[in-house]
Amino acid sequence: MKKTIFLAISIIALLVSSAIPAAAWTASNLNVLSIREDYFYNYDFNTTDSTSYTNTDFPVTMLFWNNAEIDKVKAVYISSRWELIGNNQFARLNDGSGWEWDNDRGVKTYGLHNCHMRLYAPGSTDTMYNVDWGYYILGTTHYDYFEFAGGWSGYSEDAEAEACQTARNGQGWGVVEDWSTFYNYEAYRVEGGSHIWDNNGLVSAVYVP
C-alpha cells in the first residue's frame, strides 16, 4: 500500500515537474573565506554566470579535511544508502593557483523527502590542499521535499546534522559538529515560497583518515 502511494506521488511529481525552472536565491551573508593560500565562497551558486548574492543556492555547512577526496567521501555515503542524484550547482574555489568553478550533483538519501549534500573541489584533482587542513573538500546540505513537483528545499542546519551522523556512523569518522563559523548565518525565512533558509553559520568538520 505504501509503495503504491509513493509510486502515485512519483508519477504526479514527474507530471508537474516540467514547468519548474531552476532558480537562484538570495544569500544574506555571502563572503570569501581564506585559509593559508586558499580561498572559497561560503555558499554555492546556481550558475557560473556570477558570484552575486542573488545567484546562490545554499550555505557551505561541511568541511571534510585531512585526507578527503570527492569520490572517497561519496563512497562512504553511498555505502550508507545515499544515492548519486540531483541537479548541478556550482562552487567558486581557489586552491592557491587561481579561481575556478566546480560543479556537483551531490548525494542524497532515498525518498521524496530526502537529505541532499553537494561536495566541491576543483574537478582536476577532486580535492584541495593546504598545510592546515590537508586534503579537503567543502559541502552544502539541505532537505528536499517533493522537489520534482515544485516542492520546497532547505533547512541546511538540520541536513548538516544528518550528514554528520552518516559520516560518524558510516565509517566512524571523527566529526566535530558546528566546529567553526563560516560567516554564513541565515535566519529562518522562506524565499519565493519554496526556498527555506535556516543555518546557524557554523560548519561541521569531518576528519577523513
Partner 1 sequence: MKGKIIAVVMIGVLALTIFGFSQSTQSTLASLVTPVEPTVILPENEKNLNPTIPVLTSNEEAKAVEIALNDARVKNLLEGKEYVIGKIGVMHTSELEKTGAALHICFDRPYQIEYDWPLGYCQSEQNGSSPSSNEVTLHYALPVQTLGILVDLENGRVLAIRPMDNDVGR
- For binding to partner 1 (CB under 8 A), which residues are involved? 5, 8-9, 12-13, 16, 19-21, 23-35, 39, 50-54, 63, 65-66, 99, 113, 132-133, 143, 145-147, 149-152, 155, 158, 161, 174-176, 179-183, 187-194, 196-198, 205, 207
Least distance (Å) between residue 108 CB and partner 1: 14
3-state secondary structure of 132: coil
Cβ(204)–Cβ(62) under 8 Å? Answer: yes
Least distance (Å) between residue 8 CB and partner 1: 7
Say how far apart CA 60 and CA 160 lie, in whole Å: 10
Cβ(201)–Cβ(184) under 8 Å? Answer: yes
- Scan for cell 593560500, then name that residue: 37
Nearer to partner 1, 26 or 88 (CB): 26
Say how far apart CA 69 and CA 208 lie, in whole Å: 9
Least distance (Å) between residue 52 CB and partner 1: 6
Listed in sequence order, the DSSP H helices in the chain are: 2-17, 70-79, 156-171
Least distance (Å) between residue 124 CB and partner 1: 21
Nearer to partner 1, 6 or 84 (CB): 6
